[in-house]
Each structure stands twice: as structure tokens, then as C-alpha cells.
């Protein structure tokens, strides 16, 4: 009988059975157990990574081997950690020399990668400061935000622009220091209005000598360094001397300065007597949400407070939340000598070592149990509790509004991210598109974007074309982000300012780029542009209106008005920049320094235009070829 085709040949197995089977891919606890076998018993940082390559968690350890093995053994405090381990598909490790280095690296990675399972500080903006510049004979006092690149003394942080502006105004009254720019200072021929209202001593026109002005600067420096009592005592003595010598005008000016300084401390609600420099942190958590209230005390004065709402999990302990918050908070901010906290933090010693190493002096973290320091923390705790209560109440109302939006526009669920667009221009010039973002937590101002309209083929005032350009750029970026595996910025609803024409233009772009599954709604005002008469336009539905008393209508009006405000602001900024633009900016080889020298020599761009090549060559830094280029530029432009 002939052998069956299904039987293997006599000299070996069939092809099917010869194919090698790949070993199963390790995931979760099994993957972690496999990684542990190769880990050292040394400090370092580990990253747990999910299926899509996104970082799930960043942690630090004194011993990588001992810390990571706990995940493999299944000893989890919470179901959330168990879920994180289950999602883990790979891990990355970095060893460090010390646990302090590991802590600093962990903080940096958390802030840059924003892992899903870490406590995360949000709204991490820099704080305004007061700067006394030391790069001019008559030092300027001004508000500053950002890195310390200017020579001078920096005082802060202040919790808000309002707090620093209030203090600046008071310091101007008390010490009469200039706040004008160097250009304004150099061009003055008579005192400005600030001198008239007794807020500047007018060193620009010599009404005060530079040596006497320097004494005012030194007094302001001492006051901001906490020596306010000595400054006030000296001013009081000078006032009494002037009064005794019948110099009543001088005595009155000194009296006004004393009153201004006294006002700084008198206006403050909390003003400690035994605390020169400290930050106070109080945490209140409830229902899976948390608020950290931060108060800043410098020079024995309260320089304001700010509330933060970090991303936390319901299972996180208060001390752990505050521990993670402190590390991220001071990653890019100056650290005071004393940090008061409402809860003991697990890594207190390690944080103190890290902050001290970074600052170059000892930093202490303290949980006060009695006395004035305890009262300061209790005051901050009251503020944290009240701020979280307000936020939770607002969140409940916000949730109802978003549910109403979902019902109004037929969405599958309440939107997490709403994007609203508006354009602003004057007869087509300096056109700017604005995008604002809103969601369950209200307006997300850190997500706002402006779009300078660049299309050269657009007819001035073509609103449809402008909206088409803005959304094409937005959708193109969205497509690239999603191709890279990031869908966090995908909107659940788009609102555009306009009617059917603007809606059709945007729908065309959405279809072109393959994102036509995003709900898009046009919002057009009524014939008289009256609030409450808005018509809404959606694909496949006839235009409709909402009841003029509807809370959803009020909410949508606020979003539209915010988009309009933002677009107008961006347009005004662009228009102002265009108005001060000089023809000199277009000439190759004329940078800021040469531009300044030319304007100083000839007074204006028109003066430069009228100058001969020989006159141009007399300006420092202008060679003959450059002088000829400048001269030729204006002749070509004029002819």
C-alpha cells in the first residue's frame, strides 16, 4: 500500500513540527521577577512601562534589588499597585551613587514623564520675584519671573503677581527707586509722573545724587532682607531731626515713607514674629482629591499663599502625597532654610539632604507640635480644607454642566476635553486664531494655543479660510501625536465661533485629515449679536437654539467669550509687535547692538534712511560694506 500523504517521511519530522516555538513573552510580576535576577544591591531609579510604551510609574530605591523584588512577590498594599504591576510590560533601571542622587533623578523623571501611577504636581508655574538690578549706576527695581540671568539681588518668591505688584508699589513710595527701563531713563530731560506723585527720586535728571540714590537702594535691600525694624528706626530718627531743625517738608516726606513701610505689615493677615524665612505646607485630602496650601514667609513678612491640587489616588497616604509634592515643588524653585509641614513625610532626612546639597546650606523640614509655627500650619490647613471644599463643589456643578452639554449635542458621554476656537483681526491684518480648552476641572489655561495666520493666499478678512488654516494645523498635530501613541490631547467636542459656513470649512479639513469622528459644533450669535440668541449648527441637524435660561447655554456662552477674549489678546500682542517693528530689522548684518547704535546716532529709522554712506560709517560697528548695504536697502525700498 502506498504511504499516506499525512504520514511523515521516513527520514525526519514534518515541516509543521520542525518550526521552533517562540518562548512566551513575560509580563507583570513574572517579568519583574526575571528583571530582579540581574539587579544590583545599590541605589537607583526604576521605571515601569506599559503596553504602549507609556511610563506607568517612576520610583527610587536605596537598593534596587530589594525594592523591586517586592513587586514580584505580590505584597501589595492596594489594588491600584496590583493593577500597575499587571500592566507592566518592561522596565528601565538607572543606578546612582547615593540614594539622594536617586531621589533627585526620580523627581526630575516624574515631572518630565508624568507617569500615570505617581502623585503628580500640576499647575507648576514659576513665581514672580522682586529684582534690584546691579548693572546700572542707578539700580532699577522691578518684577521678575524666570531664571536669574540679570546681575542683581532677587527677593521672593511671591505667591502671585498681585502680591508682588502691591509690594513694589509700597517700596516705590518708601524708597523712591526707579522702575523705568534704561532706554526711558537715558532719554529723560525732565522728571516723569512717578516723581510728581512721590514714587521716584528722579536720578535720571539729577534731582538726587547717585550716592544718595545708592543709600535709598541699600535701605530697600535691607528692608527686603528682613531688617525692616532697623530701617524704620533710622527713618524715624531722621524725621525727628528734620522736624527739630524746622525742615517740615523733609519731615513730611520721611513720614510718608514710614507710613508706606508700615502698610506692608499692617495689611497682612498672618505676620509671624519668630519666623524670618520659611515655606509652610498643609495638606487636606478627601474623596480621592487633595489640596496643598503653600504660604511663603520672607524677611519676617507674609508674601502670599497659593493652593495646589496634585493628582493623587484614593489609597495614597497624606504623608506620602506631601513627600512627593515637596520633591517636585522644589525641583526648580529656591528652597528656604525652614520648611514647615502638616504631616510627617517618609523621606524627611533624604529630602533635607537633597535640598541642603542643592542650596549649599542646611535646610530643615519640621512638623511643628506647638507654638507659633504650629499655628501657622493650622492656618494653612484651614485654607487647604476650604479650598478643597470649594473645588469639590465646583467640580460637582461642572459635572452637571458637562452632562448637560453631552445631552444637548448627543455625545456618548460627558466631554473630558472641549476645544473652542475663535479668530481675531482688523480687516485681515495681524490675524490670529485662538484655542482655549475646558473640561471637568474648568478652564485649562496651560493648554491654550494661539495660531498666527500665515496663509499668503488668503483674501484679507476671509474668516472661512482663517478657520480652515487654524484647524488644519491643529488636526495635523493631533494626527502626529496619535501616530506616536499619545491620544491624551484628543478633544471630545470642538466649538467654533461661526455658523454654517465656518462649520463646513472645518468639517472639510477634518474629513481630509481623517479625524471626522470628533463632534464639531458652530456657535453663531443672533441677528443683533445678543447673548441668549445663539444658534447652534451641527452636521445632520437643523440649526437650533437653547432655552435662554438654560445653565448649559450660560456655560457655552462663557466658553465662547473666553475664546474671544484670548483671541483678541493674541491679536493685540501681534499688532503691537508689528507697530514697533523697524525697517532696520530686515537688513542683514544689523543686529540689536548696531540697530541701537544707528538709532542713537540718527534718532529714528527715518534718520538712518536719510543718512549718506559716509555718515553711516561714522557709527561704531558700521563698516563701509555694511553702510553701503544699509544705504542701498532704503534706496531700493523707496524706488
Q: Is the pLDDT of residue 380 over 60?
A: yes
Does residue 15 lie in a domain region? no
- Which among 352, 344, 366 is positioned nearest to 278, based on CA atoms? 366
**What residue spans of 37-96 are helical by DSSP H?**
64-72, 79-87
Can you tell me the distance from the alpha carbon of 478 to that of 512, in angstroms, rounded to the nearest whole number?
Answer: 13
Residue where a domain terminates, one of 59, 82, 113: 113
Pairing of strands 141-144, 493-497: unpaired
Number of H helices, E strands in the chain: 21, 19
Do 429 and 548 belong together in one domain?
yes
Q: Report the run of H or E that residue 220 belongs to, with start and end.
A: helix 210-224
Q: What is the pLDDT of residue 262?
A: 66
| Sign of the alpha-carbon torsion through 365, 371, 376, 377 | positive
Percent with pLDDT over 70 in the chain: 87
Write out pLDDT tens, residues 108-123: 999 889 998 999 887 6
Residue 64: which CATH number? 3.40.1440.10
Write out pLDDT tens, residues 503-536: 999 999 999 998 889 999 999 886 555 556 789 9
Grid coordinates given for 444:
485649562
Grid coordinates given for 106:
526620580
Write out pLDDT tens, residues 272-304: 666 778 999 999 998 888 999 999 888 777 888
Most confident of 7-16, 98-107, 246-255, 389-398: 98-107
Q: What is the pLDDT of residue 346?
A: 93
Does residue 406 lie in a domain region? no
Q: How many C-beta atoms surround the C-beta of residue 589 within 10 A? A: 12
pLDDT confidence band for 455 (50 / 70 / 90) = low
Can you tell me the distance from the alpha carbon of 319 to that of 347, in angstroms, rounded to the nearest whole number?
Answer: 9
Residue where a domain terminates, one of 266, 296, 331: 266
> Which range has the worst mean pLDDT, 311-315, 436-440, 585-589?
585-589
| Strand intervals (E) in 7-133 | 44-49, 55-61, 90-95, 129-133
Beta-bridge partner residues of 311: 120
- Are the C-beta atoms of residues 510 and 490 closer than 8 Å to each other? no
Q: What Å distances lie between residue 403 and 217, 410, 414, 421, 614, CA to CA?
A: 57, 10, 5, 21, 73
Question: Residue 439 in 3-state DSSP?
Answer: strand
Residue 315: which CATH number? 3.30.420
Do 292 and 259 belong together in one domain?
no
Do 213 and 184 belong together in one domain?
yes
- Match 478643597 to its residue by C-alpha cell: 388
Q: Can you state the angle between helices 463-483 and 500-513, rounded to 10 degrees?
A: 30
Do 97 and 82 belong together in one domain?
yes
- Are the C-beta atoms of residues 310 and 119 closer than 8 Å to each other? yes
Can you tell me the distance from the alpha carbon of 322 to that of 324, in angstroms, rounded to the nearest whole number?
Answer: 6
- Are the C-beta atoms of residues 44 and 94 closer than 8 Å to each other? yes
Q: How many C-beta atoms surround the C-beta of residue 352 within 10 A? A: 18
Do 340 and 455 belong together in one domain?
no
Do 237 and 305 belong together in one domain?
no
Q: pTM for the complete prediction?
A: 0.63
Residue where a domain terminates, one of 266, 288, 312: 266
Q: What is the pLDDT of residue 8?
A: 44
| Domain that includes residue 207, residue range | 129-266
Do 427 and 369 belong together in one domain?
no
Residue 599: which CATH number? 1.10.150.20
| Strand intervals (E) in 151-199 | 152-155
Q: What is the pLDDT of residue 253?
A: 72
Do 518 and 630 belong together in one domain?
no
Does residue 16 lie in a domain region? no
- Are the C-beta atoms of residues 296 and 357 closer than 8 Å to each other? no
Does residue 411 lie in a domain region? no
Q: What is the pLDDT of residue 538?
A: 95
Q: What is the pLDDT of residue 16?
A: 42
Does residue 1 lie in a domain region? no
Domain count along the chain: 5
- Are the C-beta atoms of residues 287 and 264 closer than 8 Å to each other? no
Q: What is the pLDDT of residue 14?
A: 41
| Average pLDDT over all residues of the chain | 83
Most confident of 224-228, 348-352, 587-591: 348-352
- Are the C-beta atoms of residues 384 and 285 closer than 8 Å to each other? no
> What is the DSSP code (8-state) at residue 538?
E
Q: What Å distances lie between residue 355 and 118, 183, 312, 423, 459, CA to CA?
A: 21, 40, 24, 46, 57
Do 613 and 633 belong together in one domain?
yes
Does residue 601 lie in a domain region? yes
Does residue 306 lie in a domain region? yes
3-state secondary structure 129-145: EEEEECCCCCCCEEEEC
Residue 499: which CATH number? 3.30.420.340
* Chain center to CA of 600: 37
Can you tell me the distance from the alpha carbon of 318 to that of 324, in angstroms, rounded to the nearest whole number?
Answer: 10
Q: What Å distances lie between residue 170 and 51, 181, 261, CA to CA?
A: 57, 19, 7
> Which range has the worst mean pLDDT, 250-254, 317-321, 356-360, 480-484?
250-254
Do 507 and 594 belong together in one domain?
no
pLDDT confidence band for 251 (50 / 70 / 90) = confident
- Which among 561, 563, 294, 528 is positioned nearest to 422, based on CA atoms? 563
Do 461 and 560 belong together in one domain?
yes
Q: What is the pLDDT of residue 539?
A: 93
Does residue 546 lie in a domain region? yes
Do 521 and 468 belong together in one domain?
yes
- Match 504636581 to its residue by C-alpha cell: 121
Amino acid at each position: 500500500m502506498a504511504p499516506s500523504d499525512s504520514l511523515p517521511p521516513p527520514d525526519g519530522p514534518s515541516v509543521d513540527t520542525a518550526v521552533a516555538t517562540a518562548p512566551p513573552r513575560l509580563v507583570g510580576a513574572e517579568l519583574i521577577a526575571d528583571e530582579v535576577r540581574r539587579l544590583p544591591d545599590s541605589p537607583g531609579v526604576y521605571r515601569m512601562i506599559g503596553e504602549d510604551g507609556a511610563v506607568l510609574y517612576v520610583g527610587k530605591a536605596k537598593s534596587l534589588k530589594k525594592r523591586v523584588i517586592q513587586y514580584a512577590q505580590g505584597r501589595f498594599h492596594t489594588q491600584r499597585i496590583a493593577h500597575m504591576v499587571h500592566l507592566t510590560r518592561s522596565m528601565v533601571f538607572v543606578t546612582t551613587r547615593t540614594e539622594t542622587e536617586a531621589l533627585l533623578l526620580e523627581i526630575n523623571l516624574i515631572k518630565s514623564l508624568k507617569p500615570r501611577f505617581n502623585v503628580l504636581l500640576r499647575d507648576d508655574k514659576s513665581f514672580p520675584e522682586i529684582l534690584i538690578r546691579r548693572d546700572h549706576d542707578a539700580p532699577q527695581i522691578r518684577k521678575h519671573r524666570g531664571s536669574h540671568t540679570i546681575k542683581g539681588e532677587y527677593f521672593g518668591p511671591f505667591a502671585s503677581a498681585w502680591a508682588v505688584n502691591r509690594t513694589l508699589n509700597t517700596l516705590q513710595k518708601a524708597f523712591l527707586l526707579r522702575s523705568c527701563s534704561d532706554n526711558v531713563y537715558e532719554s529723560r530731560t525732565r522728571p516723569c509722573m512717578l516723581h510728581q506723585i512721590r514714587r521716584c527720586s528722579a536720578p535720571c535728571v539729577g534731582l538726587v545724587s547717585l550716592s544718595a540714590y545708592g543709600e535709598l537702594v541699600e535701605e530697600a535691600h535691607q528692608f527686603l532682607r528682613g531688617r525692616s525694624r532697623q530701617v524704620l528706626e533710622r527713618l524715624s530718627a531722621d524725621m525727628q531731626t528734620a522736624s527739630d531743625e524746622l525742615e517740615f517738608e523733609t519731615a513730611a516726606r520721611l513720614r510718608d515713607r514710614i507710613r508706606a513701610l508700615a502698610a506692608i505689615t499692617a495689611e497682612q493677615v498672618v505676620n509671624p514674629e519668630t519666623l524670618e524665612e520659611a515655606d509652610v505646607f498643609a495638606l487636606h485630602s478627601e474623596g480621592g482629591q487633595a489640596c496643598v496650601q503653600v504660604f511663603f514667609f520672607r524677611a519676617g513678612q507674609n508674601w502670599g499663599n497659593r493652593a495646589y491640587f496634585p493628582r493623587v489616588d484614593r489609597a495614597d497616604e497624606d504623608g506620602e502625597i506631601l513627600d512627593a509634592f515637596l520633591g517636585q515643588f522644589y525641583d526648580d524653585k529656591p528652597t528656604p532654610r525652614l520648611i514647615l509641614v502638616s504631616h510627617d513625610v517618609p523621606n524627611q532626612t533624604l529630602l533635607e539632604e537633597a535640598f541642603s546639597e542643592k542650596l549649599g546650606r542646611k535646610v530643615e523640614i519640621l512638623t511643628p507640635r506647638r507654638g507659633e509655627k504650629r499655628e501657622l500650619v493650622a492656618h494653612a490647613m484651614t485654607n487647604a480644607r476650604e479650598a478643597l471644599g470649594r473645588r469639590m463643589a465646583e467640580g460637582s456643578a461642572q459635572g452637571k454642566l458637562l452632562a448637560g452639554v453631552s445631552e444637548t449635542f448627543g455625545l456618548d458621554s460627558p466631554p473630558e476635553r472641549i476645544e473652542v476656537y475663535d479668530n481675531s483681526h482688523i480687516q485681515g491684518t495681524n490675524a490670529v486664531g485662538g484655542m482655549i480648552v475646558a473640561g471637568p476641572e474648568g478652564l485649562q489655561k496651560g493648554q491654550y494655543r494661539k495660531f498666527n495666520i500665515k496663509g499668503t493666499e488668503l483674501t484679507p478678512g476671509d474668516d472661512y479660510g482663517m478657520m480652515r488654516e487654524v484647524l488644519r494645523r491643529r488636526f495635523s498635530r493631533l494626527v502626529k501625536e496619535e501616530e506616536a501613541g499619545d491620544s491624551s490631547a484628543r478633544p471630545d467636542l470642538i466649538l467654533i465661533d461661526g455658523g454654517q459656513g465656518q462649520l463646513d470649512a472645518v468639517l472639510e479639513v477634518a474629513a481630509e485629515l481623517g479625524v471626522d469622528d470628533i463632534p464639531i459644533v458652530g456657535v453663531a450669535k443672533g441677528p443683533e449679536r445678543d447673548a441668549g440668541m445663539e444658534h447652534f449648527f451641527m452636521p445632520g441637524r437643523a440649526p437650533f437654539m437653547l432655552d435662554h435660561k438654560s445653565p448649559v447655554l450660560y456655560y457655552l456662552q462663557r466658553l465662547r467669550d473666553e475664546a474671544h477674549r484670548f483671541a483678541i489678546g493674541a491679536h493685540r500682542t501681534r499688532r503691537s509687535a508689528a507697530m514697533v517693528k523697524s525697517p532696520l530689522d530686515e537688513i542683514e548684518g544689523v543686529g540689536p547692538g548696531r540697530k541701537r547704535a544707528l538709532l542713537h546716532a540718527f534718532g529714528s529709522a527715518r534718520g538712518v534712511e536719510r543718512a549718506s554712506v559716509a555718515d553711516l560709517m561714522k557709527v561704531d560697528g558700521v563698516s563701509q560694506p555694511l553702510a553701503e548695504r544699509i544705504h542701498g536697502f532704503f534706496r531700493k525700498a523707496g524706488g
